[in-house]
């Protein structure tokens, strides 16, 4: 049943999130073109009347403004993606659609898993789209001669041919990649589950202004998470003997960060399990769909 | 024969309001039962608890001999009084959805009913009128081969012709082994199809009997009895 739930959640989210990602890519390409235009115009010598100089400056100003606005919109798209995922969750669980959701012959755990996995999937897609857009902009939008910016390409090449082999002498690159992926996924999961938990609790405590209640709950829960994180990191730091750690060699730095990352993974995993279990318990034992 | 729905000391409170007060109830299989009472008597609350949308404050409720949960939802087909299908879904999407989740969903039957209603398969819910959406929900709910149908005010707020269509759909599509619990305050319209009835007043079941028995022993129609019992 989880597969079927995910299929339908994916379809529901795709309606809004797929066009959004296409929009980000299109916006990125447009910003790249406009920036290229601005750079080329600024380098070009326009011998002529005052009018043509004014036109050049006008085009440059408009292009720059457009590029900046598109850049802001792309940066905000991550927030919009999270917002749309939360709206889908809210509608499916707490609005009229809840009558459909909660009369399905599926477990509460599966309902939550489906929302979590499809949410994570779309956040990852959004992250990939933003990265690709930035890469396109960096390679093609920052050059004044030719099509691609050779120095950016060289930098990317240098990262793979020089930096990674050098780093591999001190740390295990595959291990770091696996650790980054796992900790990153756990961080996204705990954040998504925290949002879902806030929406569920907001829906429980408020009859009318549920969205406001959910936002209030999120702020409160976030404060609690902040305190838990501080206490956890302090305990771990002292437990690891932080005052004795020396960061003189690259190997020591690598080991230190691998350890810190691992502990953060434990923290995110703990928070995820906590939010999941409490959310499931509320939906299972205290569901009151008005 | 064992009961399809059983409640013992079932109570539901909304803050200070007592919606259901120590309800004891046993509903047999294979009957059409009217859940009758004025507005605010607790009809919707009872149906929503049985459907798994509300948690009772206290008491026990069993459907098909099981506590309300994942398994009971596979044998209960619930029609709420509000439209719950997402407005972006097409008619076909809704059929896919029900087919995916309910093994007892008879798609062929649903398509036949929708064809009679002249609802195009590619129409989105948002483009359908409220009445057509309600009929669409009824078609989905009645196209399941469920053991228990819970219908909350299916004929409330519709014109007499639609009322007839709804009642015909309900009667024409249910399995004789199944039970239909239908809540309404439009007694005269449903009286002819009811085997049994429950009177619910301020969260308490005040009467549970067969319609034939009322006619024979009291010489009254159910509508007359309802007006007498619930006179303001």
pLDDT reported for residue B1:
58
- Closest approach of B72 to chain A, Cα-based (Å): 8
Phi then psi for residue A70, to 5 deg, are -65, -40
Lowest-confidence region among A29-43, A82-96, A224-238, A261-275: A29-43
Which of B14, B19, B100 should be substituted to probe chain A, the one whose Cβ sees the most A Cβ atoms within 10 Å?
B100
User: From B53, which residue of chain A is nearest by alpha-carbon distance?
Assistant: A289
Q: In a 3-state reduction of DSSP, which class is residue B77? A: strand
Q: Would you call B52 and A288 a contact, using CB atoms and an 8 Å cutoff?
A: no
C-alpha angle A138/A143/A144, rounded to 5°?
160
- Longest Cα pair distance anywhere in chain B, in angstroms? 53
Tokens coding B127: 């483009």
- Dihedral through CA A130, CA A131, CA A135, CA A138, nearest 10? 70
Q: Does A98 touch chain B (CB under 8 A)?
A: yes
Instruction: Quote the pTM value.
Output: 0.87
Which of B77, B97, B125 should be substituted to probe chain A, the one whose Cβ sees the most A Cβ atoms within 10 Å?
B97
User: Residue B182: beta bridge partners?
Assistant: B34, B151
Nearest by CB: B53 against A1, A4, A102: A102
**To which H or E segment does residue A118 belong?**
helix A108-140
ipTM, interface predicted TM-score of the complex? 0.89
**To which H or E segment does residue B197 belong?**
strand B196-201
pLDDT reported for residue A6:
95
CA–CA dist A196, A217 (Å, integer) = 11
Per-residue confidence of chain B (232 residues) as pLDDT tens digits?
589 999 999 999 988 889 999 999 999 999 999 999 888 889 999 999 999 999 999 999 999 999 999 999 999 999 998 889 999 999 999 999 999 999 999 999 899 888 887 888 888 999 988 888 888 888 899 889 999 999 998 877 677 777 787 788 788 777 778 999 999 878 888 888 889 999 998 899 998 989 888 888 888 888 888 888 887 6
Instruction: Report CA torsion sign: B115, B116, B117, B118.
Output: positive
For A130-152, what is the mean pLDDT? 83
Nearest by CB: B100 against A4, A97, A102: A4
At residue A146, does pLDDT exceed 80?
Answer: no
Q: Does A270 touch chain B (CB under 8 A)?
A: no
Q: How many CA atoms lie within 13 A of A183 on its CB side?
A: 17
At residue A106, does pLDDT exceed 80?
Answer: yes
Q: How many CA atoms lie within 13 A of A252 on its CB side?
A: 7
Percent helix, percent strand, percent coil in chain A, to nearest 5: 85, 0, 15
Contact A188, A271 (CB under 8 A): no
CA–CA dist A210, A205 (Å, integer) = 8
Predicted confidence (pLDDT) per residue in A39-88, tens digit: 777 776 655 556 677 777 777 777 778 778 777 888 788 899 999 999 99
Give CA separation, A142 vs A32, A44, A131, in Å.
Answer: 8, 16, 16
Q: In a 3-state reduction of DSSP, which class is residue B42? A: coil
Instruction: Tell me the domain boundaries of chain A.
Output: 1-150, 170-290
Instruction: Report CA torsion sign: B202, B208, B211, B215.
Output: negative
In this structure, the number of other CB atoms found within 10 A of the CB of residue B166 comes to: 21
Q: Does B70 touch chain A (CB under 8 A)?
A: yes
CA–CA dist B181, B5 (Å, integer) = 10
Contacts of A1 in chain B (CB under 8 A): 101
Of A136, A14, A129, the residue nearest A78 (C-alpha): A129
Give CA separation, A274 vs A149, A268, B53, B116, in Å.
Answer: 47, 10, 24, 51
Contacts of A4 in chain B (CB under 8 A): 100-101
CA–CA dist A169, B187 (Å, integer) = 83
CA–CA dist B30, B25 (Å, integer) = 16
Instruction: Report CA torsion sign: B139, B141, B142, B144.
Output: positive
Question: B167 exposed, middle or buried (CB, 10 Å; 0-12, 13-18, 19+)?
Answer: middle
Contacts of A19 in chain B (CB under 8 A): none
Nearest by CB: A287 against B53, B84, B102: B53
Question: A1 exposed, middle or buried (CB, 10 Å; 0-12, 13-18, 19+)?
Answer: middle
Q: Does B76 touch chain A (CB under 8 A)?
A: yes
pLDDT reported for residue B232:
67
End-to-end CA distance of chain B: 38
Residue with tokens 């990352």: A261
pLDDT reported for residue B119:
82
pLDDT reported for residue A272:
95
Going by the DSSP 8-state scheme, the letter that residue A163 receives in this structure is I
Domains of chain B: 1-75+148-158+174-232 (3.40.50.300), 85-145 (no CATH)
- Dihedral through CA B132, CA B138, CA B139, CA B143, nearest 10? 170
For A241-259, what is the mean pLDDT? 71
């Amino acid at each position: 049943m989880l597969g079927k739930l995910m299929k339908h959640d994916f379809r529901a989210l795709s309606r809004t999130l797929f066009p959004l990602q296409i929009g980000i890519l299109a916006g990125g390409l447009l910003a790249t073109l406009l920036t290229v235009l601005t750079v080329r115009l600024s380098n070009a010598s326009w011998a002529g009347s005052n009018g043509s100089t004014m036109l050049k400056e006008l085009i440059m100003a408009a292009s720059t403004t457009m590029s900046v606005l598109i850049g802001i919109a792309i940066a905000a798209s991550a927030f919009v993606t999270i917002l749309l995922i939360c709206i889908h969750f809210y509608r499916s669980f707490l609005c009229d659609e809840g009558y459909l959701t909660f009369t399905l012959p599926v477990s509460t755990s599966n309902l939550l898993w489906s929302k979590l996995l499809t949410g994570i999937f779309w956040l990852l897609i959004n992250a990939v789209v933003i990265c690709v857009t930035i890469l396109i902009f960096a390679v093609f939008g920052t050059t004044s001669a030719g099509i691609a910016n050779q120095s950016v390409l060289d930098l990317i090449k240098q990262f793979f041919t020089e930096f990674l082999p050098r780093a591999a002498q001190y740390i295990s690159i595959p291990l770091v990649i696996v650790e980054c992926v796992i900790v990153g996924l756990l961080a996204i999961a705990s954040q998504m589950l925290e949002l879902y938990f806030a929406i569920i609790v907001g829906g429980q405590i408020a009859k009318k202004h549920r969205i406001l209640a959910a936002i209030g709950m999120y702020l409160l829960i976030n404060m609690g998470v902040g305190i838990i994180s501080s206490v956890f990191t302090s305990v771990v730091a002292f437990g690891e003997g932080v005052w004795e750690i020396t960061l003189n060699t690259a190997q020591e730095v690598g080991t230190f960060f691998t350890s810190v990352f691992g502990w953060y993974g434990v923290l995110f995993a703990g928070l995820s399990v906590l939010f999941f279990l409490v959310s499931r318990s509320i939906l299972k034992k205290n569901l009151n769909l008005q | 024969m064992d009961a399809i729905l059983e409640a013992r000391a079932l109570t539901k409170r909304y803050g200070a309001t007592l919606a259901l007060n120590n309800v004891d109830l046993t509903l047999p299989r294979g009957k059409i039962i009217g859940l009758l009472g004025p507005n605010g008597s607790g009809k919707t609350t009872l149906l929503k608890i049985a459907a798994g949308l509300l948690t009772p404050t206290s008491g026990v409720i069993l459907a098909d001999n099981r506590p309300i949960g994942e398994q009971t939802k596979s044998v209960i087909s619930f029609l709420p009084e509000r439209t719950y299908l997402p407005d972006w879904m097409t008619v076909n999407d809704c059929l896919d959805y029900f087919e995916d989740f309910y093994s007892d969903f008879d798609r062929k039957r649903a398509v036949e009913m929708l064809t009679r209603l002249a609802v195009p398969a590619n129409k989105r819910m948002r483009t359908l009128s409220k009445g057509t959406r309600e009929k669409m929900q009824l078609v989905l709910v009645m196209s399941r081969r469920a053991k228990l149908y819970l219908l909350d005010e299916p004929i409330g707020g519709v014109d007499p012709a639609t009322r007839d269509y709804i009642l015909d759909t309900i009667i024409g599509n249910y399995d004789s082994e199944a039970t239909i619990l239908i809540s309404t305050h439009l007694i005269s319209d449903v009286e002819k199809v009811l085997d049994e009835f429950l009177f619910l007043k301020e969260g308490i079941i005040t009467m549970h009997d067969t319609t034939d028995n009322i006619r024979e022993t009291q010489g009254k129609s159910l509508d007359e009895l309802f007006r007498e019992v619930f006179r303001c």
